[in-house]
Structure 1
Amino acid sequence: MDFQPTEDQRDLRAGVRGLLEGRYGREALRAAVDAAAGAGTGAGAAVDRGLWRELGEAGFFALRLPESEGGVGLGLPEAVLVFEEAGRALVPGPLVATHLAAGVVPGAAAGTAVVTAFDLAGDLAGDLVAYLGEADAVLGAAVLPVGEPVRAADPLTPLHRVARPGGAEASASASRSASRSASRSVSVSAYVSEGALLTAALQVGSALRTVELAVRYAGEREQFGQPIGAFQAVKHTCAQMLVRAEVARTAVYAAAVTGDPGEAAAAKLLADGAAVRNARDCLQVHGGMGFTWEADVHLHLKRAWVRAEQWRTAAEAEELLAAELLDSAG
């Protein structure tokens, strides 16, 4: 089976990359980070409504809607390509939830509505919801809930804690299942599996971008009269980063073609590991410079941490894969 992108798919990816480079390049990213930091915890707007509408006009959210419903009529393989580019650019906002809401929530497909979801692991105090303060709707919820802002690791992912129906005694997994089951026109299995796969694509984009950042810095930074990229330890680190990112990307592409929930869970597991570990290794290649606010490395690491807790955590993916192995063995 050939998993190589077709010419049309490559053109689609190139078009999305060009749009994001022109509309949400590094200057826009840093401006958003500085604005969020200056506004304080949970108060900074992370969703650029203008960019959101442009993504909608470009078909980002309606990509998988049938043409008869005003969509582009493509599938998961094309969706993971465009989400990979969004992850590479660190575009903030509930991209996955809004994409899943196309055809369900009015305005989601066109990018005129921002839709979030109960996709983060909660605790005994309630469920965490990203971008609640900026959302027009929550996927599967009849009304927009009220939440309390909480500090987030990623400055561009504002979080709110929402009281869980049924009291604090209910488990986080049960709460998430209840929230997801309320989603209109989207089955529970498709809702979680596709959300996990699209989030994995975002993680892959970030993992590949940190490879680029590490290699570029290794070629520019000199030590003992030569670029640090000439040293074997740095070479090996960059090579390992590339292998992680490419293995995860292959898993994401394969899961997008097969549509298998188990393969989607495996792809999320690999992509989370690649995004987090690559960001850490990229930080090490940058040395002391990597720890500064001015460097972009910490933004990739913080976003990767948040995404690793979205839609399907490592523990949830491992449980699903273990259950599938037991079923096949029986």
Structure 2
Amino acid sequence: MRFQLSEDQRALRDGVRALLARRFGAEALRAAVDKPGRLDRALWRELGAAGFFALRVPEARGGVGLGLPEAVLVFEEAGRVLLPGPLVATHLAADTVPGAATGEAVVTSAGNGLVEWLAEADVVQGDAAGAVPLRSVDPLTPLHRVPVVSRVAPVAVLLTAAEQLGSATRVCELAAQHARTREQFGQPIGAFQAVKHLCAQMLVRTETARAAVYAAAVTGEGADIHTARLLADEAALRGARDCLQVHGGMGFTWEFELHLHLKRAWVRTYRAGPTTESEESLAAELLAHPT
């Protein structure tokens, strides 16, 4: 099985990265943190115009007509910059909810007992009756809890894993950059064995998760999706923690983006459903097909 990106896939990834760098760079991220709970509708419509939500909608119905591997690449870039909003829910509704494909409508989901961005959503899929606001650990993801719990769709789990992969990649980059430039005792801290080990472990976890996420996007199999989810969660959560260790006290400051990656990674683990569900589903697949 080949996981090397095609020329078109690389162009798609680079185009999305350039769009997000222009429209949601460091200043926009900080502005969003300073105004929690408010979704940038102009950015949402621009994402729609770029085909972010209609990526997997057939061309005959006005979409881009691409597949799950391309969607994974796009959501990886969204996770890399901590793009806020119910991206997965709106993407999955693009072919059924009017306005979702173009970004005119914001769609959220009441799956797994949590609802993201309920106050900003135009459409809520699932039962949101009795929703109670929660104090979200992530200032860029307002949450409500609902009494009705349902299983999360496999594609939603995979796209969430792709966002986790994006975060893992970003914190790995931040750690390596800091290790090269921060000096102690007259040399870069990256020269010290303990810091080398942290950075190496982050890279291994990230690239292992990348292989699993890309493979699941190609096969679409349940066991592959659950594997990708578990590895991507680990890469994002442990990567953010290790990156904090590399940065020391600087990593805890509100002005630095690192704490936001850790907080968003926590929220994403809940969005994808309990970790035990993925573990149990994967175990059941392995037992059913031991070869």
TM range (shorter): over 0.9
Which residue does 1:252 correspond to in 2?
213
CA distance in 2, matches of 1:313, 1:10: 33
CA distance in 1, matches of 2:7, 2:87: 25
Are 2:120 and 1:134 equivalent residues in the alignment?
yes
| More divergent stretch after superposition (111-120 vs 3-12) | 111-120
Which residue does 2:140 correspond to in 1?
156
CA contact (8 A) 1:86 1:202 kept: yes
Which digits, 9 at most, give the CA deviation of each residue in 1:274-313, with x for residues without a partner? 0000000001100011111111110000000000111233
CA contact (8 A) 2:111 2:126 kept: no
Deviation at 1:139, TM superposition (A): 2.3
CA distance in 1, matches of 2:276, 2:167: 22
Q: Give 4+ residue runs of structure 1 displaced > 4 Å after superposition.
A: none
Are 2:51 and 1:54 equivalent residues in the alignment?
no
The code of the aligned residue for 2:280 comes to E
Q: TM-score, normalised by structure 2?
A: 0.96
Q: TM-score, normalised by structure 1?
A: 0.85
CA distance in 2, matches of 1:146, 1:294: 36
CA contact (8 A) 1:234 1:285 kept: yes
Unaligned stretches of 5+ residues in structure 1: 37-43, 121-126, 165-174, 178-190
What RMSD, in angstroms, separates the aligned Cα atoms of the two structures?
1.4
Deviation at 1:163, TM superposition (A): 4.1
| More divergent stretch after superposition (130-139 vs 247-256) | 130-139
Which digits, 9 at most, give the CA deviation of each residue in 1:70-129, with x for residues without a partner? 000000010000100000010011111100001111111111111111234xxxxxx321
CA distance in 2, matches of 1:246, 1:329: 26
Which residue does 2:150 correspond to in 1?
176
Deviation at 1:232, TM superposition (A): 1.3
Unaligned stretches of 5+ residues in structure 2: none
The code of the aligned residue for 2:45 comes to R
Are 2:213 and 1:239 equivalent residues in the alignment?
no
Deviation at 1:161, TM superposition (A): 2.2
CA distance in 1, matches of 2:147, 2:206: 37
CA distance in 2, matches of 1:159, 1:216: 33
CA distance in 2, matches of 1:192, 1:311: 9
- After superposition, residues 215-226 of structure 1 pair within 5 angstroms as 215-226=176-187
SS of alignment partner, residue 255 of structure 2: coil
The code of the aligned residue for 2:42 comes to G
Deviation at 1:148, TM superposition (A): 2.6
SS of alignment partner, residue 321 of structure 1: helix
CA distance in 1, matches of 2:163, 2:270: 13
CA contact (8 A) 1:119 1:311 kept: no
